Amino acid sequence: MRSLRLPSWIPIDPYILLLLGTVGLAALFPAEGTGADVASGASTAAIALLFFLYGVRLSTREALDGLRHWRLHITVLACTFVLFPVLGLAARGLVPVLLTQPLYQGLLFLTLVPSTIQSSIAFTSIARGNVPAAICAGSFSSLAGIVLTPLLAAGLIGGGAGGFSADSLVKIVLQLLVPFVAGQLLRHWLGDFVARHKKVLGLVDRGSILLVVYTAFSEGMAQGIWHQVSAVRLGALLAVEAVLLAVMLSLTWYGARALGFGREDRIAIQFAGSKKSLASGLPMASVLFGAHASLAVLPLMLFHQMQLMVCAVIAKRRARDPEEPARERAGAVGGGRSRQRVLR
């Protein structure tokens, strides 16, 4: 993956190439019959493992320290689970002129997914923003998303997406929330082990997601999904997502300034509040959409790469901004004094 050399302002994530390769593999060699049953069972186990590791990694102390900066976190949560869904609902008017109903449902699901953690932290750091706030904001968003995303999906997308029901919500609890809570309970014994083997377990994370993608798109091949999407529709979807991202980047930046946040906090709000997590969204879509998950995650996969490319450019430009006046830093809303504890 290191051999991939592209202009620094076009950061194509090699993992996206792996995801696209997995989609191609599922298109050419989909799991069928017994193989499909095995892949489905392995995917379910991988999802549970993924969220168990999330639970082990999340430091309770970091979360408690982050609560001191509650205004920032509420702002990020409002952007993620209120503003995004409102824009998603507004996009309903684009059906059927620009988007088909299945693509719109995938777009709406995208707006309900929690924020990222890793890329929000990375871009906030590059832009010289409030890194501890980005860590906590991403963590809180991911935790809240385990509950809020399926509830919002059930309420806003409903049964037309492939079978939202009480059974779907029970599956979310069993496959996502229970493993996460178990990870938190066992963190005292496993936390150090996970920290020492961070790179290896990171490969487990990504491998789990690739397995989920393969299973979802294999099921989609059996449903004939590629006959439902044309190049024109994909182009329209990309254009709609570009507008969505631009609107959220503007709202998070200028809205945070209107709320009185300082530069460092505004950077954290912009990067944490304008992104959507592929790592959380893919497993949730697999549980909630079943055989329809392949179309549901397509908008999310495209948006994920788009947000990385655009935010990389913004972060580098923010890094060249002049230092803000000392009085503005002092007036920023909380979070600064807990920085060393959170990053230790």
Q: What is the mean pLDDT of residues 275-288?
A: 84
Lowest mean pLDDT: which of 28-42, 181-195, 285-299? 285-299
- Any idea where the domains of the chain sit in the sequence? 33-324
Q: What is the 3-state secondary structure (H, E, C) of 117-182?
A: CHHHHHHHHHCCCCHHHHHHHHHHHHHHHHHHHHHHHHHHCHHHHCCCCHHHHHHHHHHHHHHHHH
Q: What is the mean pLDDT of residues 321-327?
A: 62
Average pLDDT, the chain: 81
pLDDT band at 337 (very low <50, low <70, confident <90, very high): very low
pTM of the model: 0.78
CA distance 252 to 77: 11
For residue 10, pLDDT beyond 50: no
Q: What is the CATH number of domain 33-324?
A: 1.20.1530.20
Q: What is the mean pLDDT of residues 323-329?
A: 54
Q: What is the mean pLDDT of residues 42-71?
A: 77
In tens, the pLDDT along 90-134 reads 999 999 999 998 899 999 999 999 998 878 888 998 899 988 888
- Residues with Cβ < 8 Å from 51, sequence gap 6 or more? 146, 175, 176, 177, 179, 180, 183, 283
